[in-house]
Structures are given as C-alpha cells and as structure tokens.
Chains A and B, each alone.
Chain A
Amino acid sequence: MRFIYYSLGNLINILIIFGFFNLNTNNIFRILYVLPLIIYLLFLTMWNNPIPEEFIESKYLNISLVGMVVYFMCNYKTINKI
C-alpha cells in the first residue's frame, strides 16, 4: 500500500514541478502558483493519519483553495493558450 503513496505521490510532485516551469510565463505567476501549494503542503499531516478527514486544518485548506482559484483566474489566458 505504501507503494501507491510513494509512487503516485511522487508523480504528483513531478507534475507540479513540470507545471511550475511550463504553466507560468513570469515570476509573479510562479509565486501565485507555489503559494497555495506551499500553504497546503506546509500544514499537511503525515499520510499515516488514521482520520483521513483531518489531514489538514480547514482554514489552511480554504486559504490554499482560494489561492488556487486566484492563480487559475490570473493565469487563465496563458494556460488556455497552451
């Protein structure tokens, strides 16, 4: 079971780094891209958590979700062009 967490979990990380380079045309978009990710990942608990609903406190989840929406709204034109 751990293999799923390590393989798919790492794959998600690789795709995020790919997106960091390929979805953003300048540093402002890169900051907007990493900010919600950093907030989410920083406050995330370990994946052995027996209560899956409590991976992260809801306030941090909400902040990172808002950050993500802001990023996609700001960078919509570039992403749409690709």
Chain B
Amino acid sequence: MKSKINLYILINIVSFFCVGFLAFFLFNTDLIQPDYFVCTNIISQDFQIFNNLYIYNFPVSCDQNEYFIGFKDFKSIIFTENAYQQRPLYIFLVFAFNSLLSPLVNTLGIGEIESIYFSIVFIHIQILSSAIIMLTEILEIKKITYFEIVGITFLTMLHPLAKWEIFEANNWMLSFLTIILPVYLIQKNPKVSKKGVLIFGLLFMANRSVIACFAAYLLMGYLNNKKLDIKGSLQNLVIFFIPFTFYRLYFAINDLPIFDTNAKYFQQFTWIIDYFTWGGDRKYGEYFCQRIPGFIECYFDGTLNLIQYLSVPFIFSLVSGFILYKKRQDSPIENPY
C-alpha cells in the first residue's frame, strides 16, 4: 500500500515536471508550431502569480467559457442551459478542488483564472496517474525503478491526448482511464462486481462514451463465467443507471428544464433511434459518421487516418501487441484478462 502511494506521488511529480516542460516547449518556444486547428487558439495571456504579472502563450478553447462557468459556480450548470449540464462529474471535480484551493490562492496572490487552470491540470494529472497505477497492476509490475516511472509517465504525457489537452478543460482526459478500468476491475475480480458497475455509472456522469467501456466490462465478466446471467445483467444495468437516474430525478422533482447537448446537438446514440423511426436529421463529416451503413466506411477511414497519424507508435504497439498475444498463448492461465 505504502509503495503504491509512493508510486502515485512520484508519477504526480514527474507529471507536473512534464506539464511545465510542455507548456514551455509547445507554446513558448519556436521549436514547434502549435496549432489545435479546431476550437482552440494559442493566445498570449497575463498570469497573476504571487501578485506579479507574467505573460505566457497558452491555449484557450472555444468551450472554455461554458466549462469555466461551472468551475466558478457548479450550481449554475444545473440551473442554466449549460452544455455540460448532463455530464457534470468532471466539472464538479475541478470545481471542488478549486474551491479547496481558494483560501490558499487568495493568500498567495494568485488570480482566479490561474487557480482554475491549476485545478484543471491537477485533476487531469490525477486521472492519468490513476490510470498509470492501474496499468502497472494489470501488467503485474512488482518492482518499478525510478527510470521506469519517468519513462512510462513521459510516454503517457507525450501521447497527443495528454500533450495537447492537459492544459484545456475537457472530459476526454478520462478516456485513458476508462479504457484501462474494465481490464483492471476484471483482473481484480473475474466476476462483474456491483461496485465496479457503480463506478462506471458514476463515470457515465462525466462522459457518455463510458457506456462502451461498461459494455466491455460486462462482456469480459460474462466470458469469464462462460454463462449469460439475465437476472444479474438486468441488476447491473439498473445499478449502472442509478447515479444518472437520481440526477435526472432532481431535475424532475424541482421542475428544472433538461438541456442535453449530447442528444440535442451531437445526437449521440439518438441518431440511431431517429434513423429507424423517421429517418432523422443526421450529421456526417468532421467528427460525425451518422449513416447506415456509411458509418463502417467512415470509421474505417478514421482508423486509417489514426494509424497514419500515430505511425511510429503504431509500429511499436504492433510488436508489443504481438508479444502480448504470444505470451498469453504460451502461458496457460485461468484468467485470460
């Protein structure tokens, strides 16, 4: 337990160092042309730290205003038509940490926006650190050296998801954690546990795509048991939706209007229902593949683009994946995960 805490702290320290380095390297040197291409611009900003003003280039997202409203006053996302009203968990985490910081921030002469930026980066680092810890447990790394900690933290922080988005408010940072979580939980307990289901239910309050990881968790559990438990499956579904149901109940009881951008603007999942009922007003292009069967070609193209984009890491991952497959084939283990 103690070694796990030490490892967690070390990953945090290395991560903060990486964030400092990346903030300088990406936005404040001429070594790379930083460009987010969509939604985010690099803007020269004044930062108030210890009552002094410092000017640095820093990314500002087009979603920042919506997020920052919630980070400053969490209640406001419930009572207004905020884009993140129906996925409040991430906003709540940053809001809670920022509120805890506020007495210290005032004493140290740090500005409100700077405090929020720090809270965002802090929460992102906690998410990534937790994911790295889980990954070392999945890989059954008993002893880990300082060099290895620095190596895997650097690799994680340089992954485009972390490298570009650690500075911005976004709930996608959770995706690294949620993709690891099903495997981690199944390795801890080969059966689907109620606690595990509830964790996914809570994470669903941050990002709807968690439902895919939850499905993977259920599938792995059923494959381990080699039987389909219909009663258990229904129970798990009910438990999964408990946090979301309670949240929606709060809106119903208080007669508050629901503003769901995921469904309303992005048409997440609802486009499939629309397609089979009235045809639907579906989106295609940019991030959207809402066509049947056109989505297959669209996702295939997206996958090819990703492979091209991550070509060198993809080659390394292919070799690693092959070795992983070979190891699993060679070692007769009870739990395939």
A residues near B (Cβ < 8 Å) are: 1-23, 27, 30, 33-34, 36-38, 40-50, 52, 55, 61, 64-65, 68, 72, 79, 82
Inter-subunit contact A5/B306 (CB<8 Å): yes
| Chain B residue at smallest Cβ distance from A39 | B312
Q: A13-B159, A50-B37 are in contact. Are A41 and B175 (CB under 8 A)?
A: no
Contact of B238 with A by CB under 8 A = no
Inter-subunit contact A37/B316 (CB<8 Å): yes
Inter-subunit contact A1/B287 (CB<8 Å): yes
Q: Which 6 A-B pairs have the closest CB atoms?
A: A19-B320, A15-B317, A41-B158, A48-B37, A6-B175, A48-B38
CB distance from A5 to the nearest CB of B (A): 6
Q: DSSP class of B's interface residues: helix, strand, loop or mixed?
A: helix
B residues near A (Cβ < 8 Å) are: 25, 32-33, 35-40, 132, 135, 139, 141, 147-148, 151-152, 154-156, 158-161, 163-164, 172, 175-176, 179-180, 209, 212, 286-289, 298-299, 302-303, 305-306, 308-321, 323-324, 326-327
Residues of A within 8 A of B288 (CB): 1
CA distance A37 to B152 in the complex (A): 11
Residues of A within 8 A of B175 (CB): 6-7, 10
Q: Name the contact of A16 in the complex, choosing from B32, B209, B313 (C-beta under 8 A).
A: B313
| Chain A residue at smallest Cβ distance from B172 | A6
Q: Name the contact of A82 in the complex, choosing from B176, B303, B323 (C-beta under 8 A).
A: B323
A–B pairs, 23, beta carbons within 8 Å: A1-B298, A9-B159, A9-B161, A13-B155, A13-B156, A14-B135, A15-B316, A16-B316, A17-B135, A18-B320, A19-B323, A20-B148, A20-B155, A27-B147, A38-B155, A44-B309, A44-B310, A45-B35, A47-B309, A48-B39, A49-B35, A52-B309, A65-B312
CA distance A33 to B315 in the complex (A): 12
Inter-subunit contact A5/B315 (CB<8 Å): no
Further contacts, 10 of them, CB under 8 A, given A9-B159, A13-B156, A61-B312: A1-B298, A13-B159, A14-B180, A16-B320, A21-B148, A22-B327, A34-B151, A34-B155, A41-B163, A42-B158
